[in-house]
Structure 1
Amino acid sequence: MTPDLTLPYDGILPEFSSRPVWCGRGSAVIGAVRLGSRAWIGDGGVIRADGQPVTLGERFWLGHRSTVHIATYSHGTVAGDRVTVGRNSVVHACTVGSDVVIEDDVVILDGASVGDHAVIEAGATVFPRAQLAGGFVYAGSPAKSVRPITPAEVDERAERLREAAGDPVQAAAGDPPEVEATVFVASTARLRGRVSLGAGSSVLFSCDLHAEVGPIVVGADTNIQDNTVIRTRGEGVVIGRDTTIGHNVRVSDSRIGARALIGIGARVAPGTVIADDVMLAAGATTDPGQLLEGGYLWGGRPARILGPLDSTKRAMMVRIVEGYCEHGRAYRKAEAALS
């Protein structure tokens, strides 16, 4: 089987050692990806190499709605053989050894390294540049070693995780929404209800935006990255302009200001108000009704102020927005060439 969507980036198409054993609905493999033999990609799984390469070994297993990505200007992603990734996890710009189990809702961040025969337990966050030695179980945020583990136990955990994959979780993509010419909505994304997208905005692969009750309003040049879910059951979600919503974020009825960055795997609870010029760290959560004051980096579970938003972080946030405007134009062109 082949993914639902295979796209080139900068003229480079993915390379498959052999056809994957399984590719679920809404799955996408993009750009300079090398995928080993006997791979398995779950529903909504996204492997995206748009700026740096992604190299994944034999029997790589990517669970439903999980994402593999790179850091455009600095790091690719490499994984060895027999790596198993659970549901709703993100493997981002890092190096993962062989015979590694990454359970559900895990985030591994830029420059991190995970050794052979390791297990990252559900809900853990591996911080940037962390070096996790092989042969241990890791848990928490930041992920820390819990106990040693044998290769036989790693194999057993991998088998249990694959068996627990269960039924698909990705709904089929709906009809393409009517948007203006500068907006990009990936063909594997799903938009339902009253969704308004500002000029130059982008909704990436396998996102699910469902305005069940209130509307979802997205500002100009804002990017919503792969496998993010935004769902309203009350007043709705409003996101300001020039904002980045990272991979695998979950957003309920809330307000997110302009020039904000919501980090990979974060959770924004109902009633949250995030001011302009806020960075919410990867894996962070907010409490219902929480107010995040502008001008700060927030992180933790629940989120608290970690420090001021300095000029380096602000410049990085601007670069991400500019980069995703370019990505949106490139992906619109690439998807148009398929039709």
Structure 2
Amino acid sequence: MSPDLILPYEGVLPVFASRPVWCGRGSTVIGAATIGAQAWIGDDGVIRADGQSVTVGERFWLGHRSTVHIATFTHGTLCGDRVTVGRNSVVHACTVGSDVVIEDDVVILDGAAIGDGVVIEAGSTVFPRAELPAGFVYGGTPAKPRRPIERAEVAERAERLREGMGEGTALPAAPPEVDETVFVARTARLRGRVSLGAGSSVLFSCDLHAEVGPIVVGADTNIQDNTVIRSRAEGVVIGRDTTIGHNVRIGDCRIGARCLIGIGASIAPGTVIADEVMLAAGATTDPGQLLEGGHLWGGRPARILGPLDADKRAMMARIVEGYCKHGREYRVAQAEAE
């Protein structure tokens, strides 16, 4: 069984050591990815090697709606053998050892190094460049050691996590009608009144459902893999030149222009985010919270961590520019693959 969507990046296709054991609905593998034998990729699982390489060892297990990605200019991702990733987790531009269990709703950030025989508990965040030595259970935000663990228990927790996933609940994708400058991945789902501005992109396995109010996305804004947006009341409005990271959860809210919403963040209904805000990975907002512009926010719930300096603003602009380029390239590659 092959992934639902396989695309090249800069002419390079993924390489599989053998046919995966299972690939779920909406599963996607892109670019310079090398996948070991006996891989299992769940519904809406995304492995995206577009700029650096992704290499995963044998018996890699990627849970439903989880994402493996790289940092375009700095880091690839390397996973050893027998790595198990739960649901709605992000493994981003890092190194993961062998016999590792990454439970549900975990975020691992750029430059982190995870040792062998490690368990990362559900809901944890591994901060950039963190080192998690072998043989421990880690949990929290930032992830810290809880207790030592033996390999037999690691294997048992991996088996329990795999057994609990079942077959997933993904729905078939419906092709949206969009402007020719917009990229919508074939594995994304758009339902209801969704408006996408020129040059915007909705990446692989995203789910945008305008149940009541509309979802309005500004020009050149990118919504990255496995993000879920639900409007159940007045709707969602996202400004132009904004980045919504991987596996973000968004309710009815307003997000301004030139913002960056970090990987795995959760935006509560009624939140208002002003222009030029960076929200850190794994952060949450309270219902009705106002995030003032010009600041880096982070935490659960979010609080001001510092000013949005020139370097951060430049980095945010580079991400937008890079994803506009990705969108143009993916439109061509996806059309050629159909």
Calculate the TM-score normalised by the size of structure 2: 1.00
* 3-state SS of 2:315 partner: helix
Question: Residue 18 of structure 1 aligns to which amino acid in structure 2?
Answer: S
Counterparts of 1:105 and 1:169, CA distance in 2: 17
Question: Residue 91 of structure 1 aligns to which amino acid in structure 2?
Answer: V
Equivalent position of 1:128 in the other structure = 128
**1:263 pairs with 2:253:** no
Equivalent position of 2:236 in the other structure = 237
Equivalent position of 2:253 in the other structure = 254
Cα-to-partner distance string for 1:84-104 (whole Å, 9 max, x where unaligned): 000000000000000000000
1:172 Cα deviation after fit: 1.4
Equivalent position of 1:287 in the other structure = 286
Equivalent position of 2:119 in the other structure = 119
Equivalent position of 2:88 in the other structure = 88
| Aligned residues of 1:54 and 1:77 also touching (Cα < 8 A) | yes
Equivalent position of 1:304 in the other structure = 303
**1:6 pairs with 2:6:** yes
Counterparts of 2:152 and 2:167, CA distance in 1: 27
Question: Residue 276 of structure 1 aligns to which amino acid in structure 2?
Answer: D
Counterparts of 1:228 and 1:121, CA distance in 2: 21
Please report the RMSD computed on the Cα atoms of aligned residues, expressed in angstroms: 0.5
* 3-state SS of 2:194 partner: strand
Equivalent position of 1:156 in the other structure = 156
Counterparts of 1:169 and 1:274, CA distance in 2: 31
Unpaired runs of 5+ residues, structure 2, are: none
> For residues 221-232 of structure 1, what are the structure 2 equivalents within 5 Å?
221-232=220-231
Counterparts of 2:286 and 2:228, CA distance in 1: 18
Unpaired runs of 5+ residues, structure 1, are: none
Counterparts of 2:134 and 2:173, CA distance in 1: 39
Cα-to-partner distance string for 1:192-214 (whole Å, 9 max, x where unaligned): 00000000000000000000000
Cα-to-partner distance string for 1:207-248 (whole Å, 9 max, x where unaligned): 000000000000000000000000010000000000000000
Counterparts of 1:34 and 1:72, CA distance in 2: 17
Equivalent position of 1:50 in the other structure = 50
Counterparts of 1:173 and 1:20, CA distance in 2: 22
Aligned-pair identity in percent equals 80
Runs of 4+ in structure 1 off by over 6 angstroms are none
* 3-state SS of 2:138 partner: strand
Cα-to-partner distance string for 1:13-32 (whole Å, 9 max, x where unaligned): 00000000000000000000
Equivalent position of 2:273 in the other structure = 274
* 3-state SS of 1:276 partner: coil
- State the number of aligned residues: 338
1:167 Cα deviation after fit: 3.7
Question: Residue 40 of structure 2 aligns to which amino acid in structure 1?
Answer: W
1:169 Cα deviation after fit: 2.8
> For residues 312-323 of structure 1, what are the structure 2 equivalents within 5 Å?
312-323=311-322
> For residues 201-220 of structure 1, what are the structure 2 equivalents within 5 Å?
201-220=200-219
Equivalent position of 1:186 in the other structure = 185
Counterparts of 1:10 and 1:182, CA distance in 2: 20
Equivalent position of 2:60 in the other structure = 60
Equivalent position of 2:166 in the other structure = 166
Counterparts of 1:294 and 1:285, CA distance in 2: 17
* 3-state SS of 1:286 partner: coil
Equivalent position of 2:69 in the other structure = 69
Counterparts of 1:37 and 1:66, CA distance in 2: 19
Question: Residue 210 of structure 1 aligns to which amino acid in structure 2?
Answer: H
| Aligned residues of 1:65 and 1:169 also touching (Cα < 8 A) | no
1:171 Cα deviation after fit: 1.6
| Aligned residues of 1:64 and 1:87 also touching (Cα < 8 A) | yes
Counterparts of 2:81 and 2:166, CA distance in 1: 23
Counterparts of 1:169 and 1:98, CA distance in 2: 29
* 3-state SS of 1:325 partner: helix
* 3-state SS of 1:166 partner: coil
1:338 Cα deviation after fit: 1.6
Calculate the TM-score normalised by the size of structure 1: 0.99
* 3-state SS of 2:34 partner: strand
Cα-to-partner distance string for 1:249-291 (whole Å, 9 max, x where unaligned): 0000000000000000000000000000000000000000000
Counterparts of 1:170 and 1:284, CA distance in 2: 26
Counterparts of 1:324 and 1:266, CA distance in 2: 19
Question: Residue 146 of structure 2 aligns to which amino acid in structure 1?
Answer: V
Equivalent position of 1:338 in the other structure = 337
Counterparts of 2:337 and 2:322, CA distance in 1: 23
* 3-state SS of 2:322 partner: helix
Counterparts of 1:338 and 1:186, CA distance in 2: 12
